[in-house]
């Protein structure tokens, strides 16, 4: 173990995982059932949270709020998050209603993560998505401000009261979910977004992608992400106590078969070139996938400047692995890797 690992100030307090929830086009129900089964497994293994990605016009979860509503009825303890909902595709008032409803169904376990910006491949869908306003839609932080306003229970209508014998109207979103505002997360990849999230008292979701333009040394992923976390906390009302979750791709091999371990290492090696320099016009920089034994992965994490600043994680599962691979990976993380990082298994029910 390195000297940096030995001085780690934040033992891992909360363990989560993130899944894409892929499915075959002709068997979407089976894919969604597999995602729900994975969340149930996470609860049995003691994970503190399970997170789902959102994908549109792809073979992945397009309606995470609906999936998590189902998950809320199959679990009793594990927290349920979205990482992340791009609010450019959402009406903030309607999204606030959906989030509040699922939060109540889950008895306060929902952790919505959101982000801003034009929707992916916007030019291809804009005329169907917003036929009358595609050239005037606001994809700035103001869209998240509207969501925060609605979830806080502030007025979204100029009218409240009785409109007829049976019709009673509220001026704020119904149902209202107390406490949901404190569990809202922002998915940031830039220094500007990290600062905005802190200024607006949100929680911060980091991932395996950052914008390289935020640092003098654009190829140093770890330094960039650590800088974003520090900036976030410097502008958050709670300071160093502000919540940050890290979402690197982590693939332990402790109980993997020889064939599985070989595939995992090949997967990481194939994706390694994209981590060596910023990619594309947005200058995105990717973190290397962490593949190896739990002891090897723990040593790499404990030497990371960014990881040493967090006490929560939502380790991302790799794309397009087999169900048995995910079971092995989730089990090894919970039983081998996380304890090496200072995590203690949550009490399970049943």
- Residue 187 parent element (H or E): strand 185-187
Q: What is the C-alpha to C-alpha distance for residues 152 and 139, in angstroms, rounded to an integer?
A: 21
Contacts of 266 (CB under 8 A, 6+ apart): none
Residues for the chain: how many in total? Answer: 350
Phi, psi of 252 (to 5 degrees): -75, 150
Q: What is the C-alpha to C-alpha distance for residues 253 and 268, in angstroms, rounded to an integer?
A: 12
Q: 204: helix, coil or strand?
A: strand
Q: What is the C-alpha to C-alpha distance for residues 35 and 330, in angstroms, rounded to an integer?
A: 13
Architecture field, domain 3-340: Alpha-Beta Barrel (3.20)
**What is the predicted pLDDT for the residue at 215?**
47
**What is the predicted pLDDT for the residue at 350?**
45
Domain locations along the chain: 3-340
Q: What is the C-alpha to C-alpha distance for residues 303 and 223, in angstroms, rounded to an integer?
A: 12
- Which band of pLDDT confidence, cut at 50, 70 and 90, is reported for residue 3? very low
Mean pLDDT of 254-281: 95
Q: From start to end of 75-138, where are the E strands?
A: 79-86, 110-115
Q: What is the C-alpha to C-alpha distance for residues 115 and 304, in angstroms, rounded to an integer?
A: 25
- Which band of pLDDT confidence, cut at 50, 70 and 90, is reported for residue 348? low
Q: What is the C-alpha to C-alpha distance for residues 173 and 69, in angstroms, rounded to an integer?
A: 18
Question: For residue range 52-108, what is the model confidence (pLDDT) as tens digits?
Answer: 999 999 999 999 999 999 999 999 999 999 999 999 999 999 999 999 999 999 999
Is residue 142 within 8 A of residue 68, CB to CB? The reply is no
**What is the predicted pLDDT for the residue at 9?**
58
Side-chain-side CA neighbours of residue 212 (13 Å):
19
Locate 194 and state its tokens: 């990290």
User: Is the pLDDT confidence value at 304 over 60?
Assistant: yes
User: Is the pLDDT confidence value at 222 over 50?
Assistant: yes
**What is the predicted pLDDT for the residue at 6?**
40
Q: What is the C-alpha to C-alpha distance for residues 63 and 53, in angstroms, rounded to an integer?
A: 9
Is residue 228 within 8 A of residue 206, CB to CB? The reply is yes
Q: How many CB atoms lie within 10 A of CB 216?
A: 7
Is residue 217 within 8 A of residue 283, CB to CB? The reply is no
């Amino acid at each position: 173990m390195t000297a940096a690992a030995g001085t780690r100030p934040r033992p891992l307090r909360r363990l989560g995982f993130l899944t894409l929830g892929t499915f075959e086009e002709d068997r979407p129900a089976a894919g969604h059932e597999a995602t729900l089964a994975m969340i149930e497994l996470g609860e049995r293994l003691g994970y503190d949270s399970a997170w789902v990605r959102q994908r549109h016009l792809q073979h992945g979860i397009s309606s995470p709020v609906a999936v998590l509503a189902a998950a809320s009825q199959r679990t009793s303890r594990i927290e349920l998050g979205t990482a992340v909902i791009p609010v450019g595709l959402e009406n903030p008032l309607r999204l606030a209603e959906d989030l509040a409803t699922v939060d109540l169904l889950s008895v306060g376990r929902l952790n919505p993560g959101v982000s801003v910006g034009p929707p992916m491949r916007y030019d291809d869908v804009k005329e169907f998505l917003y036929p009358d306003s595609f050239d005037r839609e606001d994809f700035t932080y103001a869209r998240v401000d509207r969501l925060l306003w609605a979830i806080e229970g502030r007025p979204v209508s100029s009218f409240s009261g009785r409109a007829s014998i049976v019709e009673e109207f509220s001026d704020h979103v119904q149902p209202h979910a107390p406490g949901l505002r404190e569990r809202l997360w922002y998915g940031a990849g830039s220094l500007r977004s990290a600062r905005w999230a802190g200024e607006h008292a949100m929680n911060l979701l980091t991932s395996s992608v950052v914008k390289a333009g935020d640092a003098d040394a654009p190829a140093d992923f770890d330094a960039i992400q650590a800088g974003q976390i520090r900036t976030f906390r410097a502008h958050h009302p709670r300071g160093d106590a502000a919540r940050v979750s890290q979402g690197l791709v982590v693939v332990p091999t402790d109980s993997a078969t020889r064939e599985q371990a070989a595939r995992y290492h090949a997967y990481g090696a194939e994706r390694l070139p994209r981590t060596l320099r910023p990619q594309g016009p947005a200058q995105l920089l990717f973190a290397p996938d962490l593949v190896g034994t739990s002891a090897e992965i723990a040593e790499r994490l404990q030497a990371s400047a960014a990881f040493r600043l967090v006490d929560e994680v939502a380790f991302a599962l790799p794309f397009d692995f087999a169900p048995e691979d995910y079971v092995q990976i989730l089990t090894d993380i919970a039983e081998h890797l996380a304890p090496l990082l200072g995590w203690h298994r949550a009490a399970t029910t049943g």
